[in-house]
Amino acid sequence: MERRFSCTACGKCCFGWLTLTLEDALAQAGRFPLAVIWTPVRQGSKSFSISARLGLTVRLRKRRQIAVRIAPTAYIPPSLPCPALAPDGLLCTIHGEKPSRCRTMPFFPYREEGDQADLLIPRTGWLCDTSAAAPVVYRDKKIVEREDFDREREELFRQASTLRSYGEWLLESAPSLKEELLRVAKKRTGGHVVVNFSTLLPHLPEVDVVAFARKQLPVMTEFAAKTAAVPALAEYHKLYLECAAEMEGVLERRPGAKG
Ligand code: SF4
Ligand code: SF4
């Protein structure tokens, strides 16, 4: 089985959530409104094993468990473009430093390599070339040009222990999070739990929190303004306001940090 695919740089997939490696999230803190997305993955799902290795598992009753993917994410509504997308809607203005996720698209290293075929079917409105003129990118459940996929996955494995200890700590300190994860896991359509990125900062000792707050505050403020008058984006707006207030708090607590 072969699949063909070529990106025509139409920019149509540069909208909405963008999953990031931890390194990319921190590098782009002055551009993307960051959150941590927790995604429960049911036992028996094709992605259960890889999700457990990259994230954590939560024990349920009767010896069952769920895996949880914990992903730093540019938390952008599906209706809004990535802030790095040029006004023409085509050009990526940070092409040379764009996140691993954008380089690996449409492959997704949170899934097994043999479980990528459906990702090569363009979503409605996407102008990806899957014609006979496009190169073969996936053959017999193997990625042909695999450098970007391997690089992103290696990074995910490198960060896994940090995210796991963060996740275990947060589940322990916020029991409501576990309840919410279990509620989402039971839904037939699945779902996610969105958590403020600031909960992760104490687990990143190398991060200068004041410098991070200086970068995130204007981004959160801008996205709060963009979503203020859109009732459908109320959830996003609320998180942006909360995060902006937290970042302001960080800067207030550190004398001289606001300048
Ligand atoms: S960083 Fe560039 S390629 Fe990635 S979503 Fe944004 S505009 Fe698109
Ligand atoms: S939708 Fe397809 S063609 Fe358009 S930018 Fe994304 S990957 Fe490329």
Sheet harboring 2-4: ordered strands across?
Answer: 2-4, 136-139, 142-143
Nearest to 1 by CA among 140, 115, 135: 140
Output the CA 247–ligand 1 centroid distance in Å. Answer: 25
Within the chain, residue ranges assigned H as helices are 22-27, 48-54, 100-104, 147-173, 175-186, 209-227, 234-253
Q: Give percent above pLDDT 70 in the chain.
A: 98
Rounded average pLDDT over 50-59? 96
Q: What confidence tier does 257 reach under pLDDT thresholds 50, 70, 90?
A: low
Any ligand 1 atom below 6 A from CB of 92: yes
The pLDDT assigned to 122 comes to: 96
Model confidence, pTM: 0.95
The pLDDT assigned to 174 comes to: 93
Is the pLDDT at 94 greater than 80, yes or no?
yes
CA distance 2 to 5: 10
Contacts of 163 (CB under 8 A, 6+ apart): 22, 54, 55, 56, 70
209-252 confidence digits (pLDDT tens) = 999 999 999 999 999 999 999 999 999 999 999 999 999 999 99
Output the CA 145–ligand 2 centroid distance in Å. Answer: 17
Is the pLDDT at 255 greater than 80, yes or no?
no
Pocket of ligand 2 (CB under 6 A): 7-13, 105-106, 122, 126-128
CA distance 240 to 172: 25
Output the CA 92–ligand 1 centroid distance in Å. Answer: 5
104-133 confidence digits (pLDDT tens) = 999 999 999 999 999 999 999 999 999 999
The pLDDT assigned to 201 comes to: 97
Any ligand 1 atom below 6 A from CB of 76: no
Q: What confidence tier does 61 reach under pLDDT thresholds 50, 70, 90?
A: confident
